[in-house]
Amino acid sequence: MAKEFTHIIDDRVQMIDTSQKNSVTRLAVASGKIILTEDTISKIRSSSIEKGNVLATARVSAIMAVKRTSDTIPMCHPIPITGIDIDFDVNDDSITVRVKVKSVGKTGVEMEALNGVSTALLTIWDMVKSAEKDETGNYPHTKIQDIEVVEKTKSESI
């Protein structure tokens, strides 16, 4: 039996109609990690990265990414974001980014949380490129990994 697709039928691409769904409070939390050298982490902690404050810039980029998710992921609905919270856990050789997104609406916010994490991690990489490059201009130690949804809930709105 052939699988029925919800968003692509033959050559027709469509967004799912959520108009009949009830609005509920939704929350999603995503996280991800960037591996950096200890020297780069030290420079981030001492605010000596030449491009500026790495975590403040990554926080702003995550917020912007969450709000613009439907602009970059074709099947995502534009949704009303009611809250965004970004946390960083800075370790000796990595930074973990955690993005929590809340909405009251008809569809989930996990893609928004994932987009926020991904963009924050990419922003960190961009901010520390000069510190992470080796003598050949490559990034042998730098890695982005473990991007995942760690929590997703929905509950009836009050």
Cβ neighbourhood burial of 39 (10 Å; 0-12, 13-18, 19+):
exposed
Residue in 87, 126, 134, 146 annotated catalytic: 126
Closest CA to 88 of 149, 132, 34, 150: 34
Closest CA to 125 of 71, 63, 57: 57
Check if the beta carbon of residue 135 is closer than 8 Å to that of residue 113.
Answer: no
User: Helical H runs in the chain?
Assistant: 38-45, 54-67, 69-72, 110-132
Is residue 17 annotated as part of the catalytic site, yes or no? no
Check if the beta carbon of residue 26 is closer than 8 Å to that of residue 109.
Answer: yes
Catalytic sites, residue numbers? 126
